[in-house]
Amino acid sequence: MSDNPISGLFSGLDTSSIISKLIAIEKKPLYALQRKKTAYEKQISSYGDLLSKLSGLKDSLSFFQTNSSIPITALSSNPAMLSVNVSKEAAIGSYDIEIKQLASAHRIISSSGVQSETTSIFSGTGGFFSFKVGENGQVYEINLTDGMTLIDLRDEINGKNAGVRANIINTGLGENPYKLVLSSSITGAQKNIIITQDDTTFGGNYNNIQEPKNAIFKINGVELERNTNTISDAIEGLTLTLNKADLNYGTPNATNISVTVSQDIAIIRNKLNILVAQYNGFVSVAKTLSAKGQVLANDSTIDNIINALRKVTTNRYNDNILVNIGLTHDRSGVLQVNDSILSSELSKNPKEVMETLKSMAESFDSTLSSIINNLIPSKKDGLSESVKRVEKSMSSLDLRITKKEETLKKQFAKLEQTINIMQSRGDYLVQQLSKLSNRK
């Protein structure tokens, strides 16, 4: 007996259509489960979006957590000639700076040359090439071997990592155009390259390409000298980098560079506006997702999170409230910065403002950490478990529907077979009755 008879072959019924409609009725609970699963998955995705927003808010707190005072900024009026970096030890004030000369490193070139880079510069045994940087510098010694070339010597010098770089240049002059150039990586007048022994064909004869020099500059009219162009010991808390000397130094046309050290109030305002934007961004998304008819409608978790965050912004910190320093809510719960109040308080009570913001940021961080690391993951885990249960129910129901469909197909096949048999017997009886009638 076939489980898939030609639909209604004997009965005239559209059995395939009948089975499809019956199975469609059976599948209605399956569709409901699918909708439930989709709803859970959308909630998981929505909590992922909220988690991202909360992480952004948490990141915006780091500045206030690590700064209990207004940061110091330093500006150079001519960064091309002088750049400056500042630390918190710097004192508020201004400095006039002039640059006479930059510190330079020593560079020398061999007086004589050789025919090519692979020309031998030493023959025999017992030869040495040794050098140092500065009178009190360490002596670096190279053992010369028979047939050593200019390239070999260069590589040996560079391999010492002694603060001297060796290069070969082709001057293009005469029969021996290849010369050895030694460059110190250390600036300062006392950091000259000294050849202590040279048994090569150069014989210790070298000419200066660049003299070693100290940096010479003035700060507020006082001339100073350093062996480097990066100076961190002239003004406490400031690191000066000399970039260019002034050709008019010491004349009425000299370039005076002004360095101004001040409190960076603008960065406080900027960082606070970023925090406020992150806070409002989260609240806006959270309210949209939990509105009537939306994915997280009637989810009390959202209200709990919003209330917890709002509480942080309305608490007292160091016997102060945020509204006193310009951080307020409007009627709809949107956080705002009153620039006028903030600027005034930063000018009058900078330490108190920064300590208040630091305490607020620490409280915010603690609350957010609990939400980000515990509350939302727990919520997502619960929803994931719900998805698994629904999927299990769907799998079980789908199996039951498949079996039901198979049963219906078999039942209708049996019906068709029964009708076929009955029709055959009916045809036989008709034939027999017809024969009896004909005999009469």
| 362 and 390 share one domain | yes
In 171-229 the beta strands, taken as DSSP E runs, fall at 178-187, 193-198, 206-210, 215-219, 222-226
Does residue 196 form part of some domain? yes
| 219 and 158 share one domain | no
3 state DSSP class of 62:
helix
pLDDT attached to residue 7: 56
Provide the CA 128 distance to its chain's centre, in angstroms: 53
User: End of a domain among 210, 225, 252?
Assistant: 210
Please state, in angstroms and as integers, the Cα–Cα distance from residue 260 to each residue in 22, 73, 92, 95, 107, following that order: 85, 8, 8, 7, 36
Does residue 169 form part of some domain? yes
Name the β-bridge partners of 128.
143
| 79 and 37 share one domain | no
| 49 and 113 share one domain | no
Is 242 within 8 Å of 76 (Cβ atoms)?
A: no
| 110 and 59 share one domain | no
Ramachandran category for residue 21: left, alpha or beta (phi over 0 → left; psi -120 to 50 → alpha): alpha
**Distance, CA of 40 to CA of 391 (rounded, Å):** 11
| 143 and 239 share one domain | no
HSE of 239 in the Cβ direction (CA atoms, 13 Å)? 6
**Distance, CA of 342 to CA of 325 (rounded, Å):** 5
- The angle at the Cα of 212, spanning 211 to 218, to the nearest 5 degrees, equals 115
Only one residue has tokens 């619960």, namely 382
| 186 and 277 share one domain | no
Phi, psi at 111, each rounded to 5°? -65, -40
3 state DSSP class of 115:
coil
- The torsion angle over the Cα atoms of residues 130, 131, 135 and 139, rounded to 10 degrees, is -60
Is 350 within 8 Å of 65 (Cβ atoms)?
A: no
Does residue 420 form part of some domain? no
Phi, psi at 128, each rounded to 5°? -140, 150
| 116 and 201 share one domain | yes
H or E segment and range at residue 370: helix 350-370
| 275 and 389 share one domain | yes
**Distance, CA of 47 to CA of 9 (rounded, Å):** 56
pLDDT (tens place) for every residue of the chain, 440 residues total:
445 544 555 556 677 787 788 777 877 887 888 888 888 889 999 999 999 999 999 999 999 999 888 999 999 999 999 999 999 899 999 999 999 999 999 999 999 999 999 999 999 999 999 999 999 999 999 999 999 999 999 999 999 999 999 999 999 999 999 999 999 999 999 999 999 999 999 999 999 999 999 999 999 999 999 999 999 999 999 999 999 999 999 999 999 999 999 999 999 999 999 999 999 999 999 999 999 888 899 889 999 999 999 999 999 998 899 999 999 988 888 999 999 999 999 989 999 999 999 999 999 999 999 999 999 999 999 989 988 888 888 788 878 888 877 887 777 777 777 777 777 777 667 676 776 776 65
Does residue 132 form part of some domain? yes
User: End of a domain among 210, 228, 244?
Assistant: 210
| 175 and 109 share one domain | yes
375: containing domain = 32-69+266-397
| 310 and 190 share one domain | no
Please state, in angstroms and as integers, the Cα–Cα distance from residue 218 to each residue in 21, 75, 246, 365, following that order: 96, 17, 11, 47
Radius of gyration of the chain (CA): 45
Residues shown for the chain: 440
**Distance, CA of 206 to CA of 200 (rounded, Å):** 12
Does residue 115 form part of some domain? yes
User: End of a domain among 210, 231, 255?
Assistant: 210
Long-range contacts at 210-213 (CB < 8 A, ≥ 24 apart): 210/104, 210/105, 210/106, 210/107, 211/104, 211/106, 212/104, 212/105, 212/106, 212/184, 212/187, 212/188, 213/101, 213/102, 213/103, 213/104, 213/187, 213/188, 213/189
Count up the domains in the chain and report the number: 3
Phi, psi at 379, each rounded to 5°? -65, -45
Does residue 10 form part of some domain? no
Residue 163: CB atoms within 10 Å:
18
pLDDT attached to residue 424: 73
Is 140 within 8 Å of 209 (Cβ atoms)?
A: no
Does residue 407 form part of some domain? no
Does residue 437 form part of some domain? no
| 292 and 342 share one domain | yes
Residue closest to 61 by CA, chosen among 369, 370, 376, 371:
369
